[in-house]
Amino acid sequence: MPDNDHGPVSTREGSIVAGRFRIGRTLGSGGMAEVFEATDIATRQPVALKLLRPEIAQNREAVQRLRREGEVLTALRHPSIVRIETFGQLEDDRIFIAMELLSGETLGQRMRRISRMEPADLSPIVDGACAALAAAHESGVVHRDLKPDNIFLCEGPSGIHVKLLDFGISKVFGSDKLTQTGEVVGTPRYMAPEQLSADRDLDGRTDIYALGVILYEALAGSPPFLASTPTDLIVAILHGKAAPLRSFRPDLVGDVETVVTRAMSRARDARYASAHQLLAAWSAITAKVAVAPVPARPALQTAPMGSMNVAEPIVSRAPAEALRPGTFSELPQAPVPASPIQAPAVPVAAPPFVAESAPVAARPEHATRLSRPGTPPKFPVQVLPAASTTAHTPTTDELRLPTHSGRVWLIVGGLVAGALSALIAILVLHYLTTVGAEPAAAEPAAAEHAPGAPPQPVPTAP
């Protein structure tokens, strides 16, 4: 590559870059690149323009590999991967990548705002991330820098839509190059042990490990490896000394911890073989955690007569007909038998003669049923005419039971009669006791005053 005789391209707001993009405000800045909001002059569409820093552009091999990576990402079209519009090289040898401009926040920003997330909230994020990783792995691309700040969350009408950022950057430069540029600062806790060991044969399971660490941190609100120095952190990752997830979230079901622990296993063979397997395992446990709402049970209707009122169907009652405490005067009254003295004499035809072979009619008391008035009888009843020659229709006063005031006087009268009876019994007992004791006490006195009489023994009282 020829030496660059031009100075660094200006990235001030309003500058034109690559003769096509007008620079706007700064969206972000890192150790390896800067991202600006720009406008494509040709299409008048907003884009996110990513420019590598000048010190990275001096590495010829890095530039060539980034160019090949740009070609792969341009051909890799997936809804969950950020779309690359174009890429190229500036006059100062810096590589630029123009990609779609996204609106929302990164998963890292959400995790810093919400300390602990629930499995149900992470489900759409796991779905989109696994779909993007599966598509990349099938194309032979390994992310190798998967972290919460590289998972972008777009809020849409249908919910959260995931976009993976910085695809292939770590794969292009490698671990040693990133260490020199400072890109790995703050991200080693998401790197797999084989990646920290600088292994060359990395595959998609490296990204599975990183996604497992992200899930752990999102659920627990704390990283799995606690260390005070970078050296202690690397040693803890290489030896797999992670704190149990249940120590931070004892409320989670055991299956959630099982999936996360397997995804971030120290040995690659112990992890999920693909992103599809991780997504299937996560979907299975979230389906168990989700509990369907229990429908409200209908109120049970109570029959006033209990099991004896089986002939009448149970129906809903209006508020005015609801059961309430009542008095005897409000209950349905049974008819009072006719009295020949009070009833006027009315001639009644004699009953017809019943032959011996005729079936015996039901007894009159069979007509009485334990049900509400107006309910038809369960069986036909034939009532024989009364033997009396008179009929009487009871009046309302005769059918009515004692009222509330009448019952009160009856109760008071009963109490007074009982008190009088008890008083009379006490007086009688007292009188009998007094009369029986006086003669026994008089006999000894008479014996004392009789002259010449021998002394008599005094009878003891029983």
Query: For residue range 286-345, what is the model confidence (pLDDT) as tens digits?
Result: 887 654 444 444 444 444 444 444 444 444 444 444 445 554 455 455 555 554 444 444
* Sheet-wide strand order for 33-40: 16-17, 21-29, 33-40, 46-52, 95-100, 84-89
- How much is the pLDDT for 431? 87
Verify whether residue 145 is a known catalytic residue: yes
CA 121/CA 378 separation, integer angstroms: 63
- How much is the pLDDT for 217? 96
- How much is the pLDDT for 31? 66
DSSP 8-state symbol, 81: B
Angle at 52 between CA 73 and CA 6, to 5 degrees: 125
Nearby residues of 398 by Cβ (< 8 Å), 6 or more positions away: 336
Q: Assess contact for 210 and 147: CB atoms under 8 A.
A: yes
- How much is the pLDDT for 334? 53
In tens, the pLDDT along 97-143 reads 899 999 999 999 999 999 899 999 999 999 999 999 999 999 888 88
Q: Which of 3, 93, 121, 145 is catalytic?
A: 145
CB-based burial, 60-74: b 16+ in 10 Å, e otherwise: eebbebbeebbebbe
Length of the chain: 462
Domains, the chain, ordered by start: 11-101 (3.30.200.20), 104-289 (1.10.510.10)
Look-up: residue for tokens 């703050």? 186
Q: Could you give the count of Cα atoms lying within 13 Å of 410 in the half-sphere of its Cβ?
A: 7
Instruction: Give the residue with greater pLDDT, 193 vs 290.
Output: 193
Burial of 319 (0-12, 13-18, 19+ CB in 10 A): exposed
CA 81/CA 43 separation, integer angstroms: 22
Evaluate if pTM is beyond 0.85.
no
Please give the structure tokens belonging to residue 393.
Answer: 């229709």
SS3 68: helix
